[in-house]
Structures are given as structure tokens and as C-alpha cells.
């Protein structure tokens, strides 16, 4: 059996980073003796650098090959050059398809929408089953960033993209996504979309790999309640609430808490400013995987504070924290709340509600037994819901089922 998987934004084996969704899917397919070609770009979205200067075909194993098609680079995520780069890439991708033996099924990450549109047309015309994987509900995720007073202009301007979205979904054989809410969003696009087979598969981690790496890291003795925020320091994250909470604990519970903050972005100056004034805040900058795991090993809670929007559901950070045994302090008002409350792996607050965040931290500060119980729950929840060996095996089962139904 032959799978083609297409994802421009996920890491690949040469990137020497955490195993992302599409490497995880490829690994699950390899275990079933399925041949995989992973189409991606020479330009790496993360870091904005080219991996290669020309089209490059790499054989990772006998059954897993990665096809890096050369693509234009871009410096800004929201720029005409990025849209144009994706348009050109879509044309090159279809040309590459024509030189290869057709697969049994195609799985494509969406966005980019222009690529999903061209691939869906080609797959439909060639009678190849095609599954669309909703990673981000674009263009809605773009519309949310438009100021309210301009939304009446933005929505009509984005209608051509909405039409491509609908046509891509309707041409697909099935719909999957990283969350239930994303799949439901896709199926709301049209009556035909609602009739498609669908399933959701959370962004998963390799639990055995995480636990193995953590086992080699020395845990330093620390009687403080230690919290870690690791992620972007951009406007879509509620960094201010974390800093204000840390300030409160420095003043009223002096010496009893420690906040690690890792990441880069527009708000890092504010983080550095607070860290200079409060000894319980430590800014770590950008961390590699090994450095991040050292912080995880010596932390008690993972902090996940977002500015909410209709596009955010289950993020990759959920099982990144839980797989390391870290219960979560979460502000996302999405199905993450259900995961956390149902499995007793953290507490939730509303965005910018500093008092609620403080109260939740105080619960753990004053109840160490609860903290230890939830650390165990975090690992067990990952085993059931977020371990790549389970999640992506089920995803591969779904693809085989769709492929067989198409015969």
C-alpha cells in the first residue's frame, strides 16, 4: 500500500527536533509496511530558512521517503509573498505528482488552502482517495485578527478563499483534524461537507520517548511550587496574567514559588522587565528540546494561558506538558477544558482573569497530595488520549478504511 502525506509546516527527520504529527503518522504507517512519500518544502516555516537550495529527495528508510520541493521563502507570515509562494508550490507539487506512480490515498494538512485546493482537484480528477487534515481553521483564523471595524470588509475580500475551502472539502473523501471542534467547523462549511466520513486525532507525542529522555535528567531538590510557561510570547498569549500572578506570589508567598518562562516574541521585553524585579521569575529565552526537558523535569505545573478566539482548540502544548507529568493551568475555553476536568489533570481559568489563576495556583501550593495525584493522572491521560503510538495507529486505520471504501 502507498500513502502520500503532504505537510509544509511540520518538522521532518532532518530537522532534528521533536517528532511532529506527520513524522508520527509516517512512523505508524511504516510499522504496517506501508510505503510513504512525505511531500514538504525546502523552506522551513519555523526559522524562515531553506533546508536545501533545490528539489531534494531523501530516503529516511526503505518505506519512508521525503520529497523537499523547492519553494520561495518569505519573512512575514502575513504577507502577499507567502500567498504567492504557496501558489507556486501548489503548481510544482501537481507536476511532481505526474512523475510518480499514483498512491492508494493522499493525506494533506490544511492550511495552506491554495495547496489543499489544487491537490483536492487533482485527486478527484484522478479518482484517488483524498483526506483533508484540519490543522487550523483558515480563513477564520485570519478573520479573527482583523479589527472589528474592518471585519465587514475582510469577510467579502476573503470569500474567494472560503469558496476554495468549500470546494476542497467537498472534493475530499473524508475529513480529519487535530480536534473535534475543527472537524465540526469543516463540516459546517456545506451540506456536502456534513455528509463526509470524519474523525479527530489529537496532536500527540511519543510518550515512551519523552519519559525515556526525562529519566536521564537529574531532578534538583526544590521545595518551591515550580511552574513553566514554554511557548510564544506573542499577542495571542496571555503573558500578562502569568507575570501578574508571579508578582503576587513573590509579594505574598515570598520564596514559595518559581516561574520559568521560555520563548521569544514581542512580549519578551515585558517578561525580562518583570524578571529583573521579581526573583521568582526566570526568563530562559528560546530552548531546544533537551533544555526544555530539563525545565520540565524540575517543574510541577505547565502554564497554558491563551487569549481566546474561535480558532483555538486543542494545542500541541497539551500533551507536551501532560506527557512530562505536568498538570496544566489553562485559559483556553475549548475542548481542552473537558480533557482537563474529565481526567483531573489541572485547573482552568478565563483569559486575563489573574485572580482566578492565582486561586488555582494557591490550590496546588496548599495541597501537595492533589498535585502528586494529578502528575500521575497526566501520564495516564497521555497514554489513553495523546500517545502517538495509539493516536496515529488509529489515524492510519482510518486512512486504510477510507482507501478500501474507495475501491
Residues 181 and 279 both lie in one domain: no
Nearest alpha-carbon partner for 181 in 302, 320, 338: 338
Residues 230 and 309 both lie in one domain: yes
Local structure of residue 266 (DSSP, 8 states)? T
Residues 22 and 148 both lie in one domain: yes
Q: What is the pLDDT of residue 150?
A: 55
Residues 54 and 88 both lie in one domain: yes
Q: What is the pLDDT of residue 262?
A: 94
**Is 214 buried (19+), middle (13-18) or exposed (0-12) by CB count in 10 A?**
middle
The torsion region of residue 112 among left (phi > 0), alpha (psi -120 to 50) and beta comes to beta
On whether the CB atoms of residues 258 and 288 are closer than 8 A, the answer is no
Q: Does the pLDDT value for residue 320 go beyond 80?
A: yes
Give the cell for residue 289: 528540546
Q: What is the pLDDT of residue 143?
A: 55
Sequence-ordered list of residues with C-beta below 8 angstroms from that of 150, at least 6 positions apart, any chain: none
Structural domain containing residue 267: 207-386
Residues 148 and 19 both lie in one domain: yes
Q: Does the pLDDT value for residue 148 go beyond 70?
A: no
Give the DSSP H or E segment for 274. Answer: helix 268-277
pLDDT band at 140 (very low <50, low <70, confident <90, very high): low
Residues 396 and 330 both lie in one domain: no
Mean pLDDT of the 138-145 span = 61
Residues 19 and 131 both lie in one domain: yes
pLDDT, one tens digit per residue, over 325-362 is: 999 999 988 889 999 999 999 999 998 899 999 999 99
Local structure of residue 324 (DSSP, 8 states)? T
Residues 19 and 142 both lie in one domain: yes
Q: What is the pLDDT of residue 306?
A: 87
pLDDT-above-70 percentage for the chain? 92
- Helix boundaries (H) for 278-367: 289-297, 317-323, 335-343, 354-366
Residues 130 and 213 both lie in one domain: no
pLDDT, one tens digit per residue, over 2-35 is: 999 999 888 888 877 767 899 999 999 999 999 9
Mean pLDDT of the 93-113 span = 91
pLDDT band at 392 (very low <50, low <70, confident <90, very high): very high
Please state whether the peptide bond connecting residue 295 to the residue before it is cis, i.e. omega within 30 degrees of 0. no
CATH for 26 = 3.40.50.2000
pTM of the model: 0.86
Euclidean distance between CA atoms 316 and 92, whole angstroms: 30
Mean pLDDT of the 216-240 span = 90
Give the cell for residue 350: 478565563
Residues 234 and 374 both lie in one domain: yes
Residues 194 and 268 both lie in one domain: no
Mean pLDDT of the 202-218 span = 92
The mean-pLDDT minimum among 54-58, 151-155, 281-285, 315-319 falls in 151-155
The torsion region of residue 48 among left (phi > 0), alpha (psi -120 to 50) and beta comes to left
Sequence-ordered list of residues with C-beta below 8 angstroms from that of 103, at least 6 positions apart, any chain: 2, 3, 4, 37, 128
pLDDT band at 146 (very low <50, low <70, confident <90, very high): low
Euclidean distance between CA atoms 407 and 400, whole angstroms: 11
Euclidean distance between CA atoms 396 and 38, whole angstroms: 14
Residues 121 and 262 both lie in one domain: no
Sequence-ordered list of residues with C-beta below 8 angstroms from that of 359, at least 6 positions apart, any chain: none
Long-range contacts at 119-123 (CB < 8 A, ≥ 24 apart): 119/6, 119/90, 119/93, 119/94, 120/167, 120/168, 120/169, 120/171, 120/172, 121/167, 121/171, 122/94, 122/97, 123/171
Give how many domains the chain has, as a whole number: 2
Q: What is the pLDDT of residue 57?
A: 87
Amino acid at each position: 500500500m502507498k500513502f502520500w502525506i503532504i505537510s509544509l509546516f511540520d518538522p521532518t527527520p532532518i530537522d532534528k527536533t521533536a517528532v511532529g504529527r506527520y513524522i508520527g503518522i509516517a512512523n505508524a504507517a511504516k510499522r504496517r509496511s506501508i510505503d510513504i512519500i512525505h511531500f514538504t518544502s525546502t523552506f522551513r516555516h519555523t526559522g524562515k530558512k531553506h533546508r536545501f537550495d533545490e528539489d531534494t529527495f531523501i530516503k529516511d528508510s526503505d518505506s519512508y521517503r521525503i520529497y523537499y520541493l523547492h519553494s520561495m521563502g518569505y519573512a512575514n507570515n502575513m504577507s502577499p509573498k507567502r500567498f504567492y509562494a504557496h501558489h507556486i508550490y501548489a503548481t510544482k507539487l501537481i507536476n511532481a505528482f505526474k512523475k510518480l506512480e499514483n498512491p492508494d490515498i493522499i493525506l494533506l494538512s490544511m492550511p495552506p488552502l491554495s495547496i489543499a485546493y489544487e491537490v483536492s482537484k487533482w485527486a478527484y480528477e484522478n479518482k484517488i482517495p483524498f483526506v483533508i487534515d484540519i490543522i487550523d481553521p483558515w480563513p477564520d483564523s485570519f478573520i479573527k485578527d482583523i479589527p472589528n471595524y474592518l471585519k465587514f470588509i475582510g469577510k467579502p475580500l476573503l470569500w474567494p478563499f472560503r469558496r476554495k475551502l468549500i470546494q476542497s472539502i467537498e472534493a475530499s473523501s473524508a475529513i480529519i483534524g487535530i480536534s473535534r471542534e475543527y472537524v465540526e467547523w469543516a463540516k459546517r462549511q456545506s451540506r456536502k461537507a456534513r455528509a463526509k466520513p470524519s474523525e479527530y486525532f489529537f496532536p500527540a507525542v511519543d510518550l515512551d520517548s519523552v519519559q525515556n529522555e526525562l529519566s536521564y535528567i537529574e531532578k534538583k531538590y526544590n521545595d518551591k511550587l515550580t511552574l513553566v510557561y514554554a511557548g510564544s510570547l506573542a499577542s495571542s498569549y496571555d503573558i500578562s496574567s502569568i507575570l501578574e500572578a508571579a508578582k503576587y506570589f513573590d509579594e505574598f508567598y515570598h520564596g514559595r514559588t518559581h516561574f520559568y518562562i521560555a520563548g521569544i516574541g514581542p512580549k519578551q521585553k515585558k517578561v525580562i522587565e518583570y524578571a529583573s524585579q521579581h526573583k521568582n521569575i526566570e526568563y530562559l529565552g528560546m530552548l531546544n528540546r533537551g533544555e526544555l526537558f530539563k525545565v520540565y523535569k524540575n517543574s510541577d505545573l505547565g502554564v497554558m494561558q491563551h487569549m481566546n478566539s474561535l480558532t483555538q482548540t486543542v494545542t500541541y502544548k497539551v500533551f507536551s506538558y501532560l506527557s512530562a507529568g505536568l498538570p496544566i493551568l489553562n485559559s483556553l475555553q475549548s475542548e481542552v477544558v473537558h480533557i482537563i476536568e474529565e481526567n483531573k489533570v489541572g485547573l482552568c481559568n478565563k483569559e486575563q482573569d489573574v485572580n482566578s489563576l492565582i486561586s488555582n495556583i494557591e490550590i496546588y501550593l496548599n495541597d501537595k497530595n492533589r498535585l502528586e495525584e494529578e502528575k500521575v493522572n497526566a501520564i495516564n491521560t497521555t497514554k489513553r488520549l495523546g500517545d502517538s503510538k495509539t493516536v496515529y495507529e488509529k489515524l492510519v486505520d482510518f486512512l486504510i478504511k477510507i482507501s478500501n471504501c474507495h475501491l
